[in-house]
Amino acid sequence: MTPAALGHTLESALRAELAAMLQRAGVREVAALLPSLNKNVGGERQRTARVNTLKTTVKEVPAWLRAPPAEHAEKWGAVVRSFVVRLAA
């Protein structure tokens, strides 16, 4: 599958899932699915924290995805296979 065809397939799948989400929620617009942006869900004070849990670099990520360490290979392979099956459906 070419990158353009894959991109088109992914876009179609995302649009179909979004349409299904809108229908399940009984709304017509995406904004209706989102909580109000004016609402302060964190209380009176904003509480934020920055946590860097990814101890890697941008260059290392593609290499990890192509050949994950042995302890992650089976799980990552299952994720990729399930994604490919969904695209083929």
Inside any domain, residue 43:
no
Question: What predicted TM-score, i.e. pTM, was given to this entire model?
Answer: 0.39
Inside any domain, residue 13:
yes
Q: What is the domain count for the chain?
A: 2
Are both 30 and 2 inside the same structural domain? Answer: yes
Are both 59 and 31 inside the same structural domain? Answer: no
Average pLDDT of span 35-45? 58
Inside any domain, residue 46:
no
Boundaries of domain holding 15: 1-36
With beta carbons less than 8 A apart as the criterion, state whether 10 and 18 touch. no
∠ CA 14-19-20, rounded to 5°: 100
Inside any domain, residue 64:
yes
Inside any domain, residue 84:
yes
Are both 59 and 32 inside the same structural domain? Answer: no
Inside any domain, residue 41:
no
Are both 3 and 32 inside the same structural domain? Answer: yes
So what's the pLDDT on residue 29? 86
Dihedral sign (CA 24, 29, 35, 39): negative
Token digits of residue 83: 């994604």
pLDDT by residue (tens digit) across 66-83? Answer: 888 888 888 888 888 887
